[in-house]
């Protein structure tokens, strides 16, 4: 496993768990409306089979469960990032600020923004997803 893989896994800022296909934006409500429209507009000479109805209901339940799982996963990822950011206070880090400039120094504070935690190093901030390196030297966490 390379350092880049570890950094991407540990320091990545977001995980998009939503499906990316054409139905990726279809939520449970839209799915239910489509199912109701299908029932209203079905051929009266060949109505929907009860098994088909059960399969669609099960599919609706699965879609809703996956959406809840994705939401929980995003929440868990945010909590993990917050915990990791807090643990970096007092440690020497290197990363890129919002302008893409490299910043190195001791983390003195963590600020929590909508896009994720920001590590304060001197008078600059490093988004946690832009962290490149961290070093701990000695018990007090001072940089070498």
The dihedral through the CA atoms of 53, 54, 58, 59 has a sign that is negative
Looking at residue 11, its pLDDT comes to 45
Beta strand pairing call for 131-135 and 124-127: unpaired
Q: How many CB atoms lie within 10 A of CB 134?
A: 17
Q: Give the pLDDT confidence score for residue 12 in this predicted structure.
A: 47
- Which residue reads 């991407």 in tokens? 8
pLDDT tens digits along 35-82: 788 878 888 888 878 888 788 888 878 888 888 999 999 999 989 999
- Whole-model pTM over 0.75: no
- pLDDT tens digits for 85-101? 999 999 999 999 999 99
Beta 131-135 vs 116-121: how paired, if at all?
A: unpaired
């Amino acid at each position: 496993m390379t350092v880049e893989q570890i950094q991407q896994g540990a320091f990545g800022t977001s995980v998009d768990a939503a499906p990316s296909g054409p139905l990726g934006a279809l939520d449970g409500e839209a799915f239910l409306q489509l199912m109701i429209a299908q029932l209203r507009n079905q051929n009266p000479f060949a109505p929907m089979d009860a098994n088909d109805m059960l399969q669609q209901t099960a599919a609706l339940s699965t879609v809703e469960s996956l959406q809840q799982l994705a939401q929980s996963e995003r929440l868990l990822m945010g909590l993990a990032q917050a915990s990791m950011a807090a643990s970096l206070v007092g440690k020497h880090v290197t990363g890129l600020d919002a302008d893409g400039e490299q910043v190195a120094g001791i983390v003195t504070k963590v600020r929590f923004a909508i896009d994720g935690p920001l590590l304060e190093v001197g008078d600059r901030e490093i988004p946690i997803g832009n962290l490149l390196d961290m070093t701990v030297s000695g018990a007090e966490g001072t940089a070498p």
